[in-house]
Amino acid sequence: RALEARGHTARAGLGSFDGVHPRGFELALRASHWAALDWWISRVPELANRVPAVQGNQLPWVPLARVLTPNFLANPASQTEAVEFLLARGADPWRKLPYDAGTSVVAYARALKSPQLVLLDPPRLPTVIAATAGGPGE
């Protein structure tokens, strides 16, 4: 907050740079640091769905797909919580991947045989329509 008071913004923190280390949002996601992620997403809501590229030779990336990737999270046991966290903040599981416009996060999860598929594409329950007395045909 002290940096924000001096004019630094979350959006500026997403700008391009020549470094080799990941940026703050990616570090927070990798570490499952929920408070830091809340800070980022509350200031730049589109980060729930898409993180811009920071260098010219990179593509933007989708946080939901990233947390499904084996070995991305520092603590793999936090994967379910990471998916739930992102979904609760507006992440779209049907979003297309930047590097494969024909593949959504759900399709990627299906290809990985991810246990998170049930969160991303929950089974649909059949809808039963009750017949009412006195309706047509009676």
Q: Using one digit for the tens of pLDDT, what is the confidence trace for 86-126?
A: 999 999 999 999 999 999 999 999 999 999 999 999 988 77
Range of the domain at 42: 2-120
- Structure-token pair, residue 27: 């570090």
| pTM (predicted TM-score) | 0.76
In a domain, 53, yes or no: yes
No. of helices (H) and no. of strands (E), the chain: 7, 2
Q: Which of 24, 1, 27 is nearest to 13 (CA)?
A: 24
Beta carbons of 51 and 60 less than 8 angstroms apart: yes
Specify the number of domains making up the chain.
Answer: 1
In a domain, 110, yes or no: yes
Q: Which of 91, 82, 92, 88 is nearest to 116 (CA)?
A: 82
Q: At 93, phi and psi to the nearest 5?
A: -70, -15
In a domain, 134, yes or no: no
In a domain, 128, yes or no: no
Q: In whole angstroms, what is the distance from residue 99 CA to residue 69 CA?
A: 14
In a domain, 37, yes or no: yes
In a domain, 112, yes or no: yes
Residue range 77-89: average pLDDT? 98
pLDDT of res. 16: 47
DSSP letter at 126 equals P
Q: In whole angstroms, what is the distance from residue 19 CA to residue 70 CA?
A: 24
Q: How far apart are the first and last CA of the chain?
A: 68
In a domain, 27, yes or no: yes
In a domain, 13, yes or no: yes
